[in-house]
């Protein structure tokens, strides 16, 4: 039985989050997560994988700039939000601050997470900044929340996800729920994003939480 390293819960609330986006479907979840974090005044390091740039274009019909400064402006304009702190990184910038274990963070969320990224992190292979940063969070015992998106999962996907869970990652697939009685897709997106950040003890948004009284 492999050893499980429990993520540290002693991360300072002053440290930034790392929000990573990879080339799986469900890019609106990442966009909403970024918006909610910035609206709450949080500090966010954002990194989109090469695949994320492709899928974003397919799902949202426009391109996200590769240049970090242009990308920061792109998000500020798109989200109509000037609060919080945002630092964008190129997908291949392995010399970025967040690529080092000595740079403190509050935790990392990968949403959505492709099976390619899941496999490479599980194998300890860091070909881009998302994978390197995930590797750093695991080795430092910091919270790493992974929202894998594929359907169906094959045995390789399931084994890779098991390896990541055993290494200390929190596996949080974006699976919708209906007990909150969502009326719009936005309601569903908010539910999924808020549940992801519950894993980092961050209460992101006003959603109807289950109290049991709804029966």
Ligand X SMILES: Cc1cc2nc3c(=O)[nH]c(=O)nc-3n(C[C@H](O)[C@H](O)[C@H](O)COP(=O)(O)O)c2cc1C
Contacts 24+ apart (CB under 8 A), 205-209: 205/36, 207/180, 208/180, 208/181, 209/180
170-171, strands of its sheet edge to edge: 85-89, 43-48, 17-21, 107-113, 144-148, 170-171
Region from 51-59, 78-86, 179-187, 192-200 binding ligand X, contact rule CB under 6 A: 51-59
Region from 44-52, 159-167, 182-190, 198-206 binding ligand X, contact rule CB under 6 A: 44-52
When asked if residue 109 is in the footprint of ligand X (CB under 6 A), the reply is no
Smaller CB distance to ligand X: residue 11 or 27?
27
CA atoms of 110 and 108, how far apart (whole Å): 7
When asked if residue 150 is in the footprint of ligand X (CB under 6 A), the reply is yes
* 8 A C-beta contact, residue 2 and residue 160: no
Crossing angle of helices 115-122 and 129-139, in 10° steps, is 50
When asked if residue 52 is in the footprint of ligand X (CB under 6 A), the reply is yes
Binders of ligand X among residues 6 to 35 (CB under 6 A) are 22-25
When asked if residue 143 is in the footprint of ligand X (CB under 6 A), the reply is no
Question: Three-state SS for 45?
Answer: strand
Smaller CB distance to ligand X: residue 146 or 200?
146
CA atoms of 173 and 147, how far apart (whole Å): 5
The least distance separating ligand X from the CB of residue 67, rounded to whole angstroms, comes to: 19
When asked if residue 114 is in the footprint of ligand X (CB under 6 A), the reply is yes
Instruction: Give the total of residues touching ligand X (CB under 6 A).
Output: 17
- For residue 152, whether the previous peptide bond is cis, meaning omega lies within 30 degrees of 0, is yes
When asked if residue 160 is in the footprint of ligand X (CB under 6 A), the reply is no
Smaller CB distance to ligand X: residue 29 or 38?
29
What is the binding site for ligand X (CB under 6 A)?
22-25, 49-52, 54-55, 58, 114-117, 149-150
């Amino acid at each position: 039985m492999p050893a499980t390293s429990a993520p540290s819960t002693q991360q300072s609330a002053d440290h930034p989050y790392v929000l990573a986006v990879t080339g799986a479907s469900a890019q609106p979840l990442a966009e909403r997560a970024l918006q909610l974090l910035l609206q709450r005044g949080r500090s966010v390091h954002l990194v989109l994988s090469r695949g994320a740039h492709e899928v974003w274009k397919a799902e949202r019909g426009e391109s996200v700039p590769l240049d970090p400064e242009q990308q920061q402006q792109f998000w500020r304009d798109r989200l109509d939000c000037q609060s919080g702190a945002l630092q964008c990184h190129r997908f291949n910038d392995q010399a970025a601050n967040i690529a080092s274990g000595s740079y403190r963070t509050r935790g990392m969320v990968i949403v959505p997470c492709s099976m390619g990224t899941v496999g490479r992190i599980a194998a300890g292979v860091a070909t881009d900044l998302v994978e390197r940063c995930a590797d750093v969070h695991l080795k430092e015992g910091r919270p790493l929340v992974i929202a894998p998106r594929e359907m169906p999962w094959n045995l390789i996907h399931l084994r890779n996800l098991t390896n990541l869970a055993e290494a200390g990652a929190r596996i949080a697939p974006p699976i919708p729920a209906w007990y909150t009685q969502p009326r719009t897709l936005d309601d569903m997106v908010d539910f999924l994003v808020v549940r992801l950040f519950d894993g980092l003890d961050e209460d992101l948004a006003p959603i109807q939480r289950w109290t049991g009284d709804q029966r």
